[in-house]
């Protein structure tokens, strides 16, 4: 059963190009992934500011259907929210992007002293493993990252910082502004944009209320696959996992909330008359800032063709991702999350797209799923020549 609000019609006389048949083909891609790739899904798509798909299907947890209001875990699709928080401080003159992190966090050391804010935003800080496998309170996490030794000299190499760099950025926000990163993002970004159900970690005081709305994460990697250990994360379904604060990967909310964020990016800092940041700030954050530097860490993680090549990066965003599909323009920008989610916008075509699943299917299968899905999206609104006639999320 699919919970869906889809429309091939338009609002404000805007032609989205979507047809009912095209929308159905998009949703079919995700339906076909149940249960091999995920137990449930959410998808939100808008074009030129007009929502055309807000749908959910499958189960959020056993015996509980996934709905469009379920709180799903976004993993690294959370990163752009923290990046915009940094951008807001930069716009206000509170920080400069080439300032040393130590300017604001004096205990940031152990070989990391030369790291700038820009280094951290572009995964060149040199400390990708500083909090690897660590849990605990925010203060405990910050203390570990600040004391951890650098793996490479800051600025000398690109190594994807899944969480550690974002702990630093989150603590920087607290040191400069006084508010913890979850509060800052909530008050400066989510509430103004109407992202009422978005949280960077479920607040402990609201856990009993919000726990039933949260989707459970399931590992879909075969038991005999060595990569399973990367995706078998049952602790994220516990109370400790639900309240976990790590601003590079703990965002939870419905897909349509993250869609509002990307509509703001399309609006160059503004959505529905509410301005979050200046056009110049959004342009600076989303423009390519790192190119020609292959990622050493991603090179070591698998044999997928995208690993080990020069992957461009913006300031906290990933432009030109392979997972946007072959029809995305060169201006598309966003971020994916741990083989389960993606959020992006394509300014060339006015598209905002968010997909979240609650199944961790492995990098290769998840990438194939996203490419098939985004191909169907571009086809559904007339931006691709052909739609796939047979949906095969396993790529067979």
Dump pLDDT digits (tens) for 5-54. 555 444 456 899 999 999 999 999 999 999 999 999 999 999 999 999 99
Q: Which position has the token pair 């098939």? A: 372
Q: Which of 202, 217, 110 lies closest to 164, judged by CA?
A: 110
Contacts of 390 (CB under 8 A, 6+ apart): none
Look at residue 66 in the predicted model and tell me its pLDDT: 98
Question: Is residue 203 exposed (0-12), middle (13-18) or buried (19+ Cβ within 10 Å)?
Answer: middle
From its phi and psi, is residue 63 left (phi > 0), alpha (psi between -120 and 50) or beta? left
- In angstroms, the CA 308 to CA 326 distance is 19
User: What's the gap between Cα 295 and its chain centre?
Assistant: 19
Which two structure tokens, joined as six digits, stand for 336? Answer: 């994916």
Structurally, what CATH architecture does the domain formed by 2-82+182-380 represent? 3-Layer(aba) Sandwich (3.40)
Name the DSSP letter for residue 298. H
In this prediction the pTM is: 0.93
Look at residue 292 in the predicted model and tell me its pLDDT: 84
- In angstroms, the CA 106 to CA 113 distance is 9
β-strand 50-61 against 2-6: which pairing, if any?
antiparallel
Which two structure tokens, joined as six digits, stand for 89? Answer: 């401080």
Task: At 183, give phi and psi (nearest 5°).
Answer: -70, -40
Contacts of 53 (CB under 8 A, 6+ apart): 4, 5, 6, 18, 23, 26, 27, 43, 44, 45
- In angstroms, the CA 237 to CA 241 distance is 6
- In angstroms, the CA 103 to CA 327 distance is 43
Look at residue 385 in the predicted model and tell me its pLDDT: 73
Look at residue 391 in the predicted model and tell me its pLDDT: 42
Look at residue 299 in the predicted model and tell me its pLDDT: 55
Three-state DSSP state, 210: helix
Look at residue 11 in the predicted model and tell me its pLDDT: 46
Look at residue 393 in the predicted model and tell me its pLDDT: 45
Low-confidence ranges of the chain (pLDDT < 70): 1-13, 133-134, 298-309, 386-396
Q: Which of 156, 86, 146 lies closest to 121, judged by CA?
A: 86
- In angstroms, the CA 344 to CA 331 distance is 10
Q: Which letter, b or e, does each residue of 51-81 get, where b requires 16 or more Cβ atoms within 10 Å of its Cβ?
A: bbbbbbbbbbbeeeebbbebbbbbbbbbbbb
Look at residue 395 in the predicted model and tell me its pLDDT: 45
Which two structure tokens, joined as six digits, stand for 153? Answer: 């000299």
- Cα separation values, 334 from 99, 166, 266, Å: 25, 16, 11
β-strand 218-219 against 359-360: which pairing, if any?
parallel
Look at residue 307 in the predicted model and tell me its pLDDT: 46
- In angstroms, the CA 266 to CA 348 distance is 10
């Amino acid at each position: 059963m699919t919970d869906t609000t889809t429309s091939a019609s338009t609002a404000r006389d805007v032609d989205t190009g979507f047809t009912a048949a095209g929308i159905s083909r998009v949703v079919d891609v995700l339906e076909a992934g149940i249960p091999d790739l995920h137990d449930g899904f959410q998808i939100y798509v808008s074009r030129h500011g007009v929502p055309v798909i807000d749908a959910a299907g499958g189960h959020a947890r056993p015996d509980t259907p996934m709905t469009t209001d379920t709180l799903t875990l976004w993993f690294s699709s959370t990163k752009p929210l923290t990046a915009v928080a940094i951008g807001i401080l930069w716009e206000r003159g509170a920080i400069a992007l080439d300032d040393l992190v130590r300017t604001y966090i004096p205990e940031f050391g152990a070989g990391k002293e030369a790291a700038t804010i820009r280094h951290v935003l572009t995964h060149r800080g040199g400390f990708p493993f500083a909090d690897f496998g660590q849990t605990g309170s925010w203060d405990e996490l910050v203390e570990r990252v600040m004391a951890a030794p650098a793996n490479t000299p800051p600025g000398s190499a690109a190594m994807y910082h899944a969480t550690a760099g974002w702990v630093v950025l989150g603590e920087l926000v607290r040191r400069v502004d006084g508010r913890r990163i979850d509060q800052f993002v909530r008050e400066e970004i989510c509430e103004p944009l109407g992202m009422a159900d978005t949280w960077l970690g479920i607040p402990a005081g609201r856990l009993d209320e919000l726990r039933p709305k949260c989707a459970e994460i399931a590992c879909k990697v075969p038991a005999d696959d060595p990569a399973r250990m990367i995706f078998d994360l049952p602790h994220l379904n516990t109370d400790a996992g639900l309240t976990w604060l790590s601003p590079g990967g703990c965002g939870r909310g419905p897909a349509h909330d993250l869609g509002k964020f990307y509509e703001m990016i399309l609006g160059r800092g503004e959505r529905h008359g509410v301005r979050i940041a200046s056009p110049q700030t959004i342009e600076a954050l989303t423009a390519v800032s790192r190119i020609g530097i292959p990622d050493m860490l991603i090179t070591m993680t698998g044999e997928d063709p995208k690993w080990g090549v020069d992957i461009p990066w913006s300031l906290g965003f990933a432009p030109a991702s392979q997972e946007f599909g072959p029809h995305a323009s060169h201006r598309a920008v966003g971020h994916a999350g741990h083989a389960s989610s993606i959020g992006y916008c394509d300014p060339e075509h006015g598209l905002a797209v968010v997909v979240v699943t609650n199944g961790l299917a492995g990098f290769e299968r998840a990438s194939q799923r996203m490419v098939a899905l985004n191909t169907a999206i571009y086809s559904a609104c007339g931006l691709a020549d052909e739609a796939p006639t047979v949906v095969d999320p396993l790529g067979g």
